Amino acid sequence: MSVLLQAILNGVMTGTLIAVPAIGFTAIFAVLRYPSFAIAAYVTVGGFAGWFANSLWGAGVLPALAIAFLVAGAAGVATEEGALRRLRPAGALTVAIATIAANLILENVTRFLFGNDLRGYDLPLRPDLRFADLRIGPQQIENVLLAILVMAAVFAFLRFTRYGKAMRAVADNIDLARLKGIDPQRVAVTTLFLGAGLAGVGGVLLAVDTSIDPLAGARILLTVFAAAVLGGLGSIPGAVVGAFAVGIAEELSLLAVPATYRSAIGFAAILLMLTFRPRGILGERAS
Amino acid sequence: MSVLAVEALVAGYGAAEEILKGASLHVEPGEIVSIIGPNGAGKSTFLKAVAGLLQPRAGTIRFAGTDVTRRDPQGRARAGISFVPQERNVFGSLTVAENLEISGYLDPAGAQGRAARLYERYPVLAEKRHALARTLSGGQRQILAMAMGLMTEPKLMLLDEPTAGLSPKAADDLFDAVVNLNRGGLPILMVEQHAVEALAVSTRGYVFVAGRESAEGAGPALASDPEIRRLFLGG
Ligand SMILES: Nc1ncnc2c1ncn2[C@@H]1O[C@H](COP(=O)(O)OP(=O)(O)OP(=O)(O)O)[C@@H](O)[C@H]1O
Ligand SMILES: [Mg+2]
């Protein structure tokens, strides 16, 4: 029983960490209409940016998050403006493939700069908390709270600010948005900054939880993608729901199959969803 | 000076053949002008080109004396052209209130006051303020679309089949709303399937056939022209 509870608890925590980059991925998809697999590299870039600030200036988690958001967001905008934008007329598939290339390039830039080693953040060690049979690290609790805070900020931004509403309008109907005077290109750039920045925030949360290396983002890419597909591509609440579903499913799977099969859960989730409900849990469109 | 003066407009979608083949039309201050014609004549395409959603291959579009042929839709909205499309004319995933608010994007300071006046004029919108636009009935959606078009305080309103899919009663109400708007001085260019009703309230009308205007005249005169009745008005 407690094994099961522990797995669910772990799943919830994985889910919150995955939810942040998954929101970024799905937001970029909603506005720009292509899946950006470069999100993996933005996770890694953010994780390293935070690590750099932490080990060089002793930055705590909060400033590290802020720096990661800015650096990863800038990387996202630079990638879009420097390369992807020109490919957009060729269609979503072309851009999606180009994001895989961009991902490899960015990944290797971080490898060149920081090497292949696993890097840990320098944060005070604290003993695990215990509730009955359940164990949980104080840092994990903090991560979950931070992730929730970030998500709340994203929801508030989309719901209450003029820019957030413009973003939702463009995602809904780009031509109508233009007729109202909204410049979709500006919205696209903002969305990329936000989406890649969120991936970077996810990178720090992930790195604080474990460690960071050039492949850190690539390792969670499938899970992030599965979360977004499961929730319905382009739906932000969907990405959150999907992240929890995949996170919990992955942890539960560890009770039954060896850890090496963990990533099969992501694949299975995508396949099942595309077979039985292509628009996802909360998605509105089939495409 | 004409509010809108379009000369010999040629336009199409992508590399496909031309849809508009040299269409010309003008709208004078205070007018309601209707475009009627068979399906596929290019009426919607014409309005899209005037609003900037379609880049013409040839011809000119002058708005209040200024050449806007090369401007993007945002630029034309800023200049005062407001286009309510035939389909997908509201943001379905936004609430009624958000739809109005985002339609005032160009002038956020004045948006709240304008929305308040529109709620007063169209009480059904106030009632449905917090509903998602995709849950509205056809008539409510058309009213919202038109109200959204008014949020920019336009100097010219383009309406594409505002009564499409409405019950006869809702269609009448909508024509009344259009006439009321026009009484306030707003020039209106609309495309309509309900040709008789549209021409009855119009200053002038155009008949579009195969990508250009084939007849033009005063609204009531056009509605009673036997040749036009025979061809387009089912009588
Ligand atoms: N987005 C598009 N891409 C390609 N072709 C299009 C597109 N929209 C319309 N067309 C074509 O352009 C032609 C004119 O269409 P348009 O919608 O302008 O006609 P219309 O006069 O408004 O007709 P209706 O009365 O049916 O609304 C049609 O042959 C149509 O198939
Ligand atoms: Mg049409």
Task: Indicate the average pLDDT of chain B.
Answer: 91
- If one compares A265 and A14, the residue with the highest pLDDT of the two is A14
Classify residue A283: in a domain, yes or no.
no
Cβ A49 vs Cβ A67: under 8 Å: yes
Q: Band of the pLDDT at B35, cuts 50, 70, 90?
A: very high
Terminal-residue alpha carbon distance, chain A? 41
Task: Indicate the average pLDDT of chain A.
Answer: 91
Token pair for residue B90?
Answer: 């509201």
- Ligand nearest B211 Cα, by number? 1
pLDDT at A256 over 90: no
Structural domain boundaries in chain B? 4-87+154-232
pLDDT at A286 over 90: no
* Sequence-ordered list of residues with C-beta below 8 angstroms from that of A163, at least 6 positions apart, any chain: A157, A187, A190
Q: Is A68 on the interface with B (CB under 8 A)?
A: no
Classify residue A69: in a domain, yes or no.
yes
- As to burial, measured by CB atoms within 10 angstroms (0-12 exposed, 13-18 middle, 19+ buried), residue B211 is buried
Q: For A123-127, A193-197, B41-45, which range has the lowest pLDDT when averaged over its residues?
A: A123-127
User: For the residues B137-165, what does the mean pLDDT come to?
Assistant: 92
HSE toward the beta carbon, residue A101, CA cutoff 13 A: 11
Question: Best residue in A180, A187, A282 to probe B by mutation, most B CBs within 10 Å?
Answer: A180
- If one compares B95 and B221, the residue with the highest pLDDT of the two is B95
Whole-angstrom CA distances from A206 to A19, A174, A268 are 11, 34, 23
Q: Band of the pLDDT at B173, cuts 50, 70, 90?
A: confident
Question: Best residue in A161, A162, A179, A235 to probe B by mutation, most B CBs within 10 Å?
Answer: A179
Which CATH fold topology does B4-87+154-232 show? Rossmann fold (3.40.50)
A185 vs chain B: nearest CA distance in angstroms? 11
Looking at residue B219, its amino acid is G
Tokens 């008539």 correspond to what residue? B139
User: For the residues B133-145, what does the mean pLDDT come to?
Assistant: 93
Looking at residue A136, its amino acid is I
Q: Band of the pLDDT at A51, cuts 50, 70, 90?
A: very high
Surrounding ion ligand 2 within 5 Å at CB are B 44, 86
Q: What is the pLDDT of residues A218-233, one digit of tens each?
A: 999 999 999 999 988 8
* Dist. CA A23–CA A31, nearest whole Å: 12
Nearest residue of B to residue A284 by CA position? B93
pLDDT at A101 over 90: yes
Classify residue A286: in a domain, yes or no.
no
Classify residue A126: in a domain, yes or no.
no
- Averaging pLDDT over each range in A268-272, A283-287, B203-207, which range is the top one? B203-207
Whole-angstrom CA distances from A190 to A157, A164, A167 are 12, 9, 8
Q: What is the pLDDT of residues B86-130, one digit of tens each?
A: 899 999 999 999 999 999 999 999 999 999 999 999 999 999 999
Terminal-residue alpha carbon distance, chain B? 37
Interface contact flag, A182 B102, Cβ < 8 Å: yes
Classify residue A125: in a domain, yes or no.
no
pLDDT at A166 over 50: yes
User: For the residues B63-83, what does the mean pLDDT come to?
Assistant: 95
pLDDT value at residue A287 = 37
- Read off the pTM: 0.90
Handedness of CA B81, B206, B69, B50 (dihedral sign): positive
Probe target for ligand 1 pocket from B9, B18, B19, B208, with the most ligand atoms within 8 Å of CB: B19
Question: Which residues surround ligand 1 with Cβ inside 6 Å?
Answer: B 13, 16, 19, 39-45, 86
User: For the residues A166-194, what does the mean pLDDT come to?
Assistant: 96
Cβ A263 vs Cβ A225: under 8 Å: no
Interface contact flag, B73 A178, Cβ < 8 Å: yes
- Which residues from chain A sit within 8 angstroms of residue B156, using beta carbons? none
pLDDT value at residue A285 = 54
SS3 B163: coil
User: For the residues A17-24, what does the mean pLDDT come to?
Assistant: 95
pLDDT at A3 over 50: yes
Classify residue A207: in a domain, yes or no.
yes
CA B26 from chain centre, in angstroms, equals 14
Q: What is the pLDDT of residues A102-135, one digit of tens each?
A: 999 999 999 999 988 899 888 887 888 887 778 8
User: For the residues B135-143, what does the mean pLDDT come to?
Assistant: 92
Interface contact flag, A181 B78, Cβ < 8 Å: yes
Classify residue A82: in a domain, yes or no.
yes
Query: In this prediction, what percent of chain B has a pLDDT beyond 70?
Result: 98
Handedness of CA A59, A63, A66, A70 (dihedral sign): negative
User: For the residues B173-202, what does the mean pLDDT come to?
Assistant: 91
- Which residues from chain A sit within 8 angstroms of residue B77, using beta carbons? 178-181
pLDDT value at residue B232 = 67
Name the closest-CA residue to atom 3, ligand 1: B13
Q: Name the residue among A203, A262, A265, A273 with its Cα closest to residue A238.
A: A273
Looking at residue B108, its amino acid is P
Token pair for residue A136?
Answer: 């949980």
Total domains in the fold of chain A: 1
Atom of ligand 1 nearest to the CA of B211: 14
CATH, residue A67: 1.10.3470
Interface contact flag, A182 B91, Cβ < 8 Å: no
Q: Band of the pLDDT at B153, cuts 50, 70, 90?
A: confident
Q: Band of the pLDDT at B233, cuts 50, 70, 90?
A: low
Query: In this prediction, what percent of chain A has a pLDDT beyond 90?
Result: 65
Question: Best residue in B93, B96, B134, B158 to probe A by mutation, most A CBs within 10 Å?
Answer: B93
- If one compares A285 and A286, the residue with the highest pLDDT of the two is A285
DSSP letter assigned to residue A81: I
Across B46-145, where does the E strand assignment appear? Answer: 58-63, 66-67, 81-84
User: For the residues A47-72, what does the mean pLDDT come to?
Assistant: 93
pLDDT at B16 over 80: no
Q: Name the residue among B81, B63, B65, B61 with its Cα closest to residue B73.
A: B81
- If one compares A262 and A103, the residue with the highest pLDDT of the two is A103
SS3 B31: coil
Pairing of strands B58-63, B32-36: unpaired
Distance A176 CA to ligand 2 centre (A): 16
Q: Name the residue among B93, B170, B87, B86 with its Cα closest to residue B124.
A: B170
Domain span at residue A255?
2-119+131-276
Q: What per-residue string of b and e applies to B38-71 under the rule 16 or more CB within 10 Å gives b? A: eeebbbbbbbbbbbbbbebeebebbbbeeebbeb
Q: Is B53 on the interface with A (CB under 8 A)?
A: yes
Interface contact flag, B85 A176, Cβ < 8 Å: yes
Atom of ligand 1 nearest to the CA of B38: 25
**Contacting B residues, span 75-114, partner chain A, CB-CB under 8 Å:** 77-78, 82-83, 85, 88-94, 98, 101-103, 105-106, 108
Whole-angstrom CA distances from B228 to A195, A206, B37 are 56, 71, 10
Q: Band of the pLDDT at A271, cuts 50, 70, 90?
A: confident
pLDDT at A208 over 70: yes
- ipTM value greater than 0.85: yes
